[in-house]
Structure 1
Amino acid sequence: MEDQPSNPAKPRSRGRPKTANPRGIQSTASSLDVLKVMVAHSEPMHLREIAAAVGRGTSSVYRYLVSFVEAGLVKQDEGSGRYDLGPMALKLGLAALRRIDGVAAATEELARLVKNIDADGHVTVWGSNGPTVLRWLGRPSDVVVRVQEGWVLSLMGSSTGRTWAAYLPKDMLDAAVQHEFETRPAPAGSGTRTERKKALAQATEHIRAQGYSYATGELRNGVDALCAPIFNRHGTMVYAITLVSQNPGLTPQHHPEVVEQLLASTRSVSEQMGATLA
Structure 2
Amino acid sequence: MEEAKTNVRAVERALDILLCFTDSTDLGLSEIASRLSLHKSTVHRLLATLENKGFLIRDAQTEKYRLGFRIWELSANLTHSDDPATVLLPEMERLRDLVGETISLYVRDGNERIRIQAVQSNQPIRRVAPIGARMPLFVGASSKVLVAYAEPEVLQAVLNDPNWPDSIDREAYLEQLEQIRAQGFATSVEERELGAAAVAAPIFNRNGKLVAAIAASGPSNRLTPEKMREFARPIMEAAYRMGKMMK
TM-based fold match above 0.5 = yes
Structure 1, unaligned stretches of length 5 or more?
Answer: 1-19, 28-91, 191-195
Q: Which of the pair has the greater relative contact order for Cα pairs under 8 Å at 6+ separation? A: 2
Q: Summarize the Cα distance change of 1:23–1:234 in structure 2 as closer, same or farther, 3 Å threshold.
A: closer
The offset of 1:240, in angstroms, is 0.9
Residue 236 of structure 2 is aligned to residue 263 of structure 1 = yes
C-alpha distance in 1 between matches for 2:7 and 2:221: 54
Q: Hey, what's the Cα distance between the residues in 2 that align with 1:254 and 1:147?
A: 20
Superposition CA RMSD, Å: 3.1
- 2:163 maps to 1:183: yes
Deviation by residue 1:179-208 (Cα, 9 ceiling, x = unmatched): 2xx135434xx3xxxxx2211211111111
Check the 8 A contact 1:106/1:266 in 2, yes or no. no
Q: Offset of 1:255 from its aligned partner?
A: 5.8
1:137: which partner in 2? 119
User: TM-score under structure 2 normalisation?
Assistant: 0.63
Q: Which runs of 5+ in 2 are unaligned?
A: 12-73
Maintained 8 Å contact 1:97/1:272: no
3-state DSSP class of the match of 2:137?
coil
Match in the other structure for 1:48: none
Pair 1:219-2:192 in alignment: yes
Question: What secondary structure sits across from 2:160 in the alignment?
Answer: helix
Equivalent residue in structure 2 for 1:119, among 72, 84, 101: 101
Give the whole-Å Cα distance in 1 for the aligned partners of 2:197 and 2:203: 20
For residues 142 and 155 of structure 1, do their structure 2 counterparts lie closer, same or farther at Cα, with a shift above 3 Å needed?
A: same
Based on CA coordinates, which of the two structures has the bigger radius of gyration? 1
CA distance in 2 between counterparts of 1:152 and 1:127 reads 9
Q: Is the aligned partner of 1:146 residue 2:128?
A: yes
| Cα 1:218/1:175, change in 2 over 3 Å | closer
Rounded to whole Å, the distance in 1 between the matches of 2:204 and 2:131 is 21
> What does the per-residue CA deviation read over 1:119-170, in whole Å, with 9 as the maximum and x for residues that have no partner?
1121111113421111123211235333332222232221111111111100
User: What residue is the counterpart of 2:70 in the other structure?
Assistant: none
**Pair 1:264–1:141, CA change in 2 (3 A):** same
4+ residue segments displaced more than 6 Å? none
CA distance in 2, matches of 1:153, 1:252: 22
State the match for 1:22 in structure 2.
Answer: 6
CA contact (8 A) 1:97 1:273 kept: no
1 or 2, which has the higher strand percentage?
Answer: 2
Count residues with an aligned counterpart: 183
TM-score, with normalisation over the residues of structure 1? 0.56
1:156 aligns with 2:138: yes
**Which residue pairs with 1:79 in the alignment?**
none
CA contact (8 A) 1:162 1:213 kept: yes
Task: Return the alpha-carbon distance in structure 2 between the equivalents of residues 158 and 199 of structure 1.
Answer: 14
Alpha-carbon distance in structure 2 between the residues aligned to 1:263 and 1:212: 7
Identity %: 22
